[in-house]
Amino acid sequence: MIPRLTAAGPGRHRYKELPVANFPGVDYMEIDSLFSEEELMIRQTVRDFVDDEILPIIEDANRHEKFPAHLVPKMAEMGLFGSTISEYGLPGLSHVSYGLIMQELERGDSGIRSFVSVQSGLVMFPIFAYGSKKQKDHWIPLLAKGEAIGCFGLTEPDFGSNPGGMRTNARKDGDSWVLNGAKSWITSGSIADVAVVWAKTAEGIRGFLVEKDRPGFSTANHMGKFSLRASVTSQLFFEDCRIPAENVLPETSSLKHPLSCLTQARFGIAWGALGAAMAVYQTALTYTKQRIQFGGQPIASHQLVQNKLAWMITEITKGQLLALQMGRLKDAGKLKPHHVSMGKMNNVNIALECARTARDMLGANGVSDEYPVIRHMLNLESVKTYEGTHDIHNLVIGEAVTGIPSYNPPMTAEAERQGTAKAEQAEQAAKR
């Protein structure tokens, strides 16, 4: 029986007692003292699930590029999908608890965390926040129970960092919308029952719910990935795909709506990446204390090796504090998208550097999937790119501190000439 997560509160029961963990956790500076008892219990419950259900199967799933679909009902039974929602019988957990869930899942594998991030933050969130009552009543319970899988289609072959340029479009035709275009690199695309698809309309960018069996909608998987192999990534194609008018998310009208969904998922990634970092740090620590070279000494006795471990634990500890402050701000309703950019950018970056360092510390064993390090390292290459690349988040932080957006390249000579002419005209007009 898998314990179901609930937020403690009047009339709500507690989940299982803290058992002895397989994974001891990484807590260099008593950061656990900053979590509530409830948050620690939720973390422990998911930690046990990862140890018992994910770690035994994940290398095989990764090696054979197979999504472990049998985990979906188990994760649903635990209440892992849409866990911060408090309606529809969902647990209404705090955002810190949600972050800890993501941390533990990604300690297992970034692809499993990704599945839960997409289902919760990119599918249930937009339906819950921007959907009609009918859409919510239909989809939220199905998605929560894992009886329906969702995906989020924003990226296109020619528009990744700049989704505002998207070409996918939707035209109103009587009682229908007709969609044309393509999306690429979509997590869970071909296994999804419903796709949340973002398209340009005459009234701006809007979200649409496209069920998998709609004529004109098809998918094809991206093959040959060396990263996130236990996760399905697909292209979505829309050729005169007709859906009922009621399938539009009524409260969506501009780019800020898909971007607001990304803020939810990026928050989870900032926590999740710490889980991957903890997994590779723990592996490197254990390995280097056991591995003997040169005169019977474990390699952990060498200063160069200790320097690497010291760097890793320092960065993980700083990342934990960053994630926790983000979580407390989110629970207080004060978290801003540019805060989340810092968390996603920093924590994924340090996790990837920890994984690369751990890979080196394991020597030849570091390139084998007998250890989890190379899998985490390759997964984190995708995590650094998706949900806003490392550099896009740097630019978001740059804009927050300077007030100057710098996503577009410097002006071309022609644009500069036109801008100067316009400024001169305005100056002349002001003088008259």
Rounded Cα distance, 56 and 53, in Å = 6
Pair of tokens at residue 161: 């960092």
Overall residue count recorded for the chain in this entry: 432
- Per CB under 6 A, contacts with ligand TGC among 73-112 are none
Binding of ligand FAD at residue 62 (CB under 6 A)? no
Torsional sign, CA 80, 84, 85, 91: positive
Distance of CA 367 to the CA centre of its chain: 25
Least Å distance, CB 224 to ligand FAD, is 12
| The two three-digit tokens of residue 208, written as one number | 């649409």
Q: What are phi and psi of 10, to 5 degrees?
A: -55, 130
Identify which of residues 176 and 385 has a Cβ nearer to ligand FAD in the complex. Answer: 385
State CA 18 to chain mean position distance: 27
Interface residue with ligand TGC among 259, 285, 397, 400 (CB under 6 A) is: 259
- Give CA–CA dist 178/276, Å, rounded: 41
Site for ligand TGC contains 156 (CB under 6 A): no
Binding of ligand FAD by 187 (CB under 6 A):
yes
183: phi then psi, degrees, rounded to nearest 5: -120, 150
Contact call for residue 379 and ligand TGC (CB under 6 A): no
Beta-strand pair 297-298/292-293: antiparallel
Please confirm, yes or no, whether 387 is among the known catalytic residues.
Answer: yes
Q: Which of residues 328-357 bind ligand FAD (CB under 6 A)?
A: none
What is the footprint of ligand TGC within residues 328-367 (CB under 6 A)?
337
User: Residues 387, 399, 416, 427: which is the catalytic one?
Assistant: 387
Binds ligand FAD (CB under 6 A): choice among 407, 417, 419, 420: 407
AA letter at 248: V
Window 404-423: residues binding ligand TGC (CB under 6 A): 407
Task: Name the minimum Å distance from CB 69 to ligand FAD.
Answer: 17
Which option in ligand FAD, ligand TGC, none does residue 228 bind, with CB closer than 5 to 8 A by kind? Answer: ligand FAD
Nearest distance from residue 153's CB to ligand FAD, in Å?
6
3-state secondary structure 122-184: HHHHHHHHHCCHHHHHHHHHHHHCCCCCEEEECCECCECCCHHHCCCEEEEECCEEEEEEEEE
Q: Taking the CA atoms of 88, 89, 94 and 100 in sequence, report the sign of the dihedral they define.
A: negative
Q: Which residues contact 37 (CB under 8 A, 6 or more apart)?
A: none
Residue 406: closest CA among 415, 414, 397: 397
Least Å distance between CB 387 and ligand TGC? Answer: 4
Q: Report if residue 238 touches ligand FAD, rule: CB under 6 A.
A: no
In angstroms, give the least distance from the CB of 337 to ligand FAD: 15
The entry of ligand TGC, ligand FAD, none that residue 263 binds, CB within 5 to 8 Å by partner kind = ligand TGC
> Which residues bind to ligand FAD, rule: CB under 6 A?
118, 152-155, 160-161, 185-187, 228, 233, 382, 385-387, 389, 391-392, 407
> Which residues bind to ligand TGC, rule: CB under 6 A?
114, 117-118, 152, 154-155, 161-164, 187, 254-256, 259-260, 262-263, 265, 337, 386-388, 392, 396, 407
Catalytic residues: 387
